[in-house]
Structure 1
Amino acid sequence: MGFSSFLGRVLFASIFILSAWQMFNEFGNDGGPAAKEWAPKLELVKTFIDGKIGKNDIYFDVKPLARTFVATCIFLKGFGGLLFVLGSGFGAFLLIFYLILTTPILYDFYNYDVGEPKFFVLLREFLQCVAYLGALLFFLGMKNSILRKLQKKKAPKPKAA
């Protein structure tokens, strides 16, 4: 059970770790291709927020924000994946935070009509990330239930005199 659990965590976390490693190698001065993909998505988020709270006088350039966002994603995926391999709940929380932060922005299937081919590609990727999120929540739930069972078993019994 112990080895198969470790192997499962390694295989699951390899998705995140290898992706973070690729993003890190391509990062460069401009943030790499990931920053170029994130820049228009973050511009849409900025426009959406401006529409909800009103146009504000604060201006910020999206390109440096995209580089910072990519660096944050590299950290969350890489460090979270490594901690997850070691069985840490904190690593699972980092990966959950990454998925919650990026999935609705990156896979914006809701901006397309149902008949468009891009809709189905984005919906499939979105649902895959939701499945990853479910697996991480399952891991945390199982980890917490095992810890509770162990605490109940280790309660010292009073000795009769």
Structure 2
Amino acid sequence: MGFFSFLGRLLFAYIFILSAWQMFNEFGDDGGPAAKEWAPKLHFVKKFVDNRIGNSNLHVDSKTFVAACIFLKGLGGILFVLGSGFGAFLLISCLVLTAPMLYDFYNYDFGEPEFIRLVHEFLQCAAFVGALLFFLGMKNSIPRKKQPQKKAPKPKTA
């Protein structure tokens, strides 16, 4: 059972580790193609926040955002393979931060091919979050092995 649990975690985390590795290899001086894709989306989020709470000094550089994604995916994936709940938390954080911005199906009309593709990808990320939450729930529900208690020495009678 332990081997299959490890294999399942390895195959699941492979998605995130491979993605982080690819982003790292393409990073370069300008952040790579991922930074170019994130720049307009982060600008839209900045405008949205400015409209909701007023003129703020919120500024997220796309290159920094991509570096944070690489860190969350890479470290989270490796820790998840090792069975760490913190690794699952890092992967959940990455998915919750990126999925609503990356798969913005809400900007398209229902029935468009782009809408269907984006909803599919967004729901896949939601399923990943659900699987990670399930992992955290199962990890916390399994009782820890009890340490054997030392037997109290019997009192000697005279």
Instruction: Output the TM-score relative to the length of structure 1.
Output: 0.88
Q: Residue 17 of structure 2 aligns with which residue?
A: 17
SS in 2 for 1:28: coil
Per the TM alignment, residue 30 of structure 1 is displaced from its structure 2 partner at its CA by: 0.4
CA contact (8 A) 2:34 2:66 kept: yes
Q: Deviations over 1:111-151 (max 9, x none)?
A: 111122111111000000000000000000000001xx236
Offset from partner CA, 1:32-51 (integer Å, 9 cap, x none): 00000000110110111111
Gaps of 5+ in 2: none
Among candidates 137, 144, 157, match of residue 150 of structure 1: 144
Looking at structure 1, the residues matched to 10 and 54 of structure 2 have their Cα atoms a distance apart, in angstroms, of 45
1:84 equivalent among 77, 80, 83: 80
| Change in 2 beyond 3 A, CA 1:90/1:127 | same
Q: Partner of 2:115 in structure 1?
A: 119
Task: Say whether the 8 Å CA contact 2:46–2:58 is kept in structure 1.
Answer: no
AA partner of residue 18 (structure 2): L
Is the counterpart of residue 52 in structure 1 residue 52 in structure 2? yes
- Asked which structure has the greater CA Rg, the reply is 2
Match of 2:126 among 121, 130, 134: 130
Larger % of helix: which? 1
Distance, in Å, in 1 between the alignment partners of 2:8 and 2:86 is: 17
Q: 1-side partners of 2:109 and 2:55: how far apart?
A: 28
Q: Percent identity?
A: 71
Deviations 1:82-114 (A, max 9, x none): 000000011001001111111111111111111
SS at match of 2:144: helix
What is the CA-CA distance between 1:157 and the residue it aligns to?
9.9
Secondary structure of the residue aligned to 1:150 is: coil
**1:54 Cα shift?**
2.1
